[in-house]
Amino acid sequence: MKALIQTLTETFGPSGHEDAVRAVIRAQVEPLADEIRVDALGSLIAVKRPVRDGGKKILLAAHMDEIGLIISHVDEKGFLRFTTLGGVPPRTLVGGRVRFLDGTPGVIGGEVLENWDKVHTMEQLFIDIGASGPKDVRVKIGDVAALERPFLDLGKRLVAKSLDDRIGVAVLIETLRQLKMTPHEVYFVFTSREELSSEAGAAAVAFGIEPDLALSVDVTSTGDTPKGHKTDVALGKGPAIRIHDPGVLSDPRIVAWIDQTARKNKIPFQRQVSTFGTTDARAMQASRSGVPVSCLAIPCRYVHTPSEMVDMDDVQNAVKLLVCLLSAPVEI
């Protein structure tokens, strides 16, 4: 699975520009699914048909887009000003590298601050592509760049940019691979545009599929670093269910189903209430006349930085849990 995670995280795919990463995913799921399609907003939908009638229509959504930068101004010397696609903290950017869709690389510089302890605002940062002047600059307003950072294998733990949410993508691919039979009609969906606040990709997908229940499979921040977030979730203690976040209150029946399935199969598992962030579940819950939702999350340190970290045990246990959930009937 590690080789796949490396390819997924190193592939270009800021929100709305998911073509390259979708092609990587498609090559993986095409031989495993009963049907494949791409919708108008670019989400990839892989369907696994049930072995008999009477199951549920279950939607699993992992977003394939990543946070990125979008050019807002090219100055007379060829420096590029930008704003963000999704939530990018400016403190994570200075000295970093980016790459545009056409392959153009660049580095992120900042205006000189009088006080070294101060953090740049987004307006004080720029991308330098090594141009001698504006004539060297092919980058235009509206062009999009992704953060550039190689994948790092630390053994049990992995570090990469865009583990949010390529790790969820990898979990869905592996679940589809391991799921031999299911009584349900399962939609493995790789959504576009999650990092934009509307989660428009998932909204369109849920409307089109009209599922009986839906789960987002995403990452969640941990509290296990020095003076870290106020949450009990830690790396290596199992996948977490986001019971509540500012956008979603999980359906209690889904929470109970996941909790009981994890206990029965002795899969480590964490419960979380998060005071920040949300996932595709937010857009899916209000689709049509309502969809019961929850979020199964892979614990992740340093979310929305170029060096996000996950634990392979959590990844494997998330796959195991999803396979158990999808292999048995569910009453909701």
Active site residues: 194
Instruction: Considering the complex, state which of residue 67 and residue 291 has its C-beta at the smaller distance from Zn ion.
Output: 67
Four-residue CA torsion sign, 140, 141, 142, 143? positive
Binding at 251: pick from Co ion, Zn ion, none (beta carbon under 5-8 Å per type): none
Q: How far is CA 172 from CA 64, 112, 301, 318, 329, in A?
A: 11, 44, 20, 9, 19
Instruction: Considering the complex, state which of residue 165 and residue 245 has its C-beta at the smaller distance from Zn ion.
Output: 165
Which residue is associated with the tokens 């977490």? 240
**Which one among 143, 164, 308, 311 touches Co ion, defined by CB under 5 A?**
164
Binding at 218: pick from Zn ion, Co ion, none (beta carbon under 5-8 Å per type): Zn ion
Q: Which stretch binds Co ion (CB under 5 A): 121-129, 160-168, 253-261, 262-270?
A: 160-168
Q: Which stretch binds Co ion (CB under 5 A): 159-167, 179-187, 256-264, 289-297?
A: 159-167
Six token digits for residue 69:
């930068």
Write the DSSP symbol of residue 96. Answer: -
> Closest Cα to residue 213, out of 281, 142, 266, 125?
281
Q: Which stretch binds Co ion (CB under 5 A): 11-19, 161-169, 241-249, 312-320?
A: 161-169
Instruction: Considering the complex, state which of residue 164 and residue 280 has its C-beta at the smaller distance from Co ion.
Output: 164
| Minimum distance from residue 164 beta carbon to Co ion (Å) | 4
| Minimum distance from residue 297 beta carbon to Zn ion (Å) | 9
**Which one among 18, 66, 143, 165 touches Zn ion, defined by CB under 5 A?**
165
- The residue ranges of DSSP E strands in 137-227, in sequence order, are 144-148, 152-153, 157-160, 185-191, 213-221
* Run of H or E including 326: helix 312-327
Q: Are 172 and 166 in contact (CB under 8 A)?
A: no
Instruction: Considering the complex, state which of residue 143 and residue 164 has its C-beta at the smaller distance from Co ion.
Output: 164
Name 106's bridge partners. Answer: 98
| Minimum distance from residue 78 beta carbon to Co ion (Å) | 31
Residue ranges binding Co ion (CB under 5 A)? 164
Residue ranges binding Zn ion (CB under 5 A)? 164-165, 218
